[in-house]
Structure 1
C-alpha cells in the first residue's frame, strides 16, 4: 500500500510539533514560514522542488 503526502503538509506538521514542544518559538516559526513563502517566489523554487521530488522518488526505492 502506497500513499502520498504533501511536502507542505509534512513541513507544516513538523513546524507545529516544534512549536508545541517549545523547541521553536512563535517568532521563529513566523520567520520560518515567511522565509519559505518568499523563497518559493524566487528562481530557487524550481531547483528546490526538483531536489525534493528526486528525494521523494528515491526513498520508496531505497526500502526495497
Structure 2
C-alpha cells in the first residue's frame, strides 16, 4: 500500500513542530512563508519546482 502526503502538508507540520519546540520564532516562520509565497511568483519558481520534484523522485531510490 502506498501513502502519499502533499509536500505542503509535510512542510506545514515541520513548521508547526519547529514553532512548538521553540526552535524558530513566529516572526521567522512568517518571513520564510512570505519568502516562499513571493518566490513562487518569480522565474525561479520553475527551477525550484523541478529541483523538489527531482529530489522527491530520488528519495525512494536511496539505499536500493
TM-score for both structures, normalised by structure 1: 0.88
Which residues of structure 1 form unaligned runs of 5+?
Answer: none
Q: TM-score, normalised by structure 2?
A: 0.88
Match of 2:33 in 1: 33
- When the two structures are aligned, how many residues end up with a matched partner? 64
1:25-55 deviation line (CA, Å, top 9, x unaligned): 1111110110110011111111111111111
- Equivalent residue, structure 2, for 1:53: 53
**Paired position in structure 1 for 2:17:** 17
Root-mean-square deviation (CA), in Å?
1.1
Large movers: runs of 4+ above 3 Å: none
Structure 2: runs of 5 or more not aligned: none
